[in-house]
Amino acid sequence: MNRTGSTHGGLIVATTFVVALLLSMLPGPEWAERFRPDWVALVLIYWCMATPGRVGVGIGWLVGLILDVLYGSVLGQHALAMAVVAYIAHRLHLQMRMFPRWQQAATVLILLMINQILVLWIKGVLGEAPTLWPSLTSSMVGMVIWPLVFIILRDVRRRVQLS
């Protein structure tokens, strides 16, 4: 792939992360907050699975640091969780590609729960009282919408011929 295609592909990946960050920051009603999926983690899982040579642990760490800054949380809290999720998704990318959608969604649920558990663990170590229920519901919603996220990002990747 030439430099122009590589730069264009990187811009597309970065744009999807920016959209995911914006979706994560959009205000919504108080009652709906626990149902908000982790958009950034979903996008990270997709790109680690679809283009493992382009997106990996380093990108996961960087996006997690951006989340830490945006949420005003302890620096490295989301970065660690996203890096672990990226590592696991990267290691399983060949298997996940072969899974049917329902099995991909179940794997995504596990990855999202690992992400949430790591964030809650760090909060607990820092003395905050973490609540497990909102984290589980957001992970479940992420699992349910995974097929739609997958299809949208796959179509974007195919349109720009990103491999």
Backbone conformation region of residue 151, classed left if phi is above 0, alpha if psi is from -120 to 50, else beta:
alpha
What does the pLDDT read at residue 3? Answer: 44
Model confidence at 5, pLDDT cuts 50, 70, 90, reads low
Average pLDDT, the chain: 92
Domains and CATH numbers, the chain: 3-159 (1.10.1760)
Closest CA to 43 of 66, 59, 27: 59
CB contact set of 8 (below 8 Å; sequence gap of 6+): 160
| pLDDT mean over 134-138 | 86
Model confidence over 12-25: pLDDT tens digits?
Answer: 999 999 999 999 99
For the chain, give the percent of residues with pLDDT over 90: 80
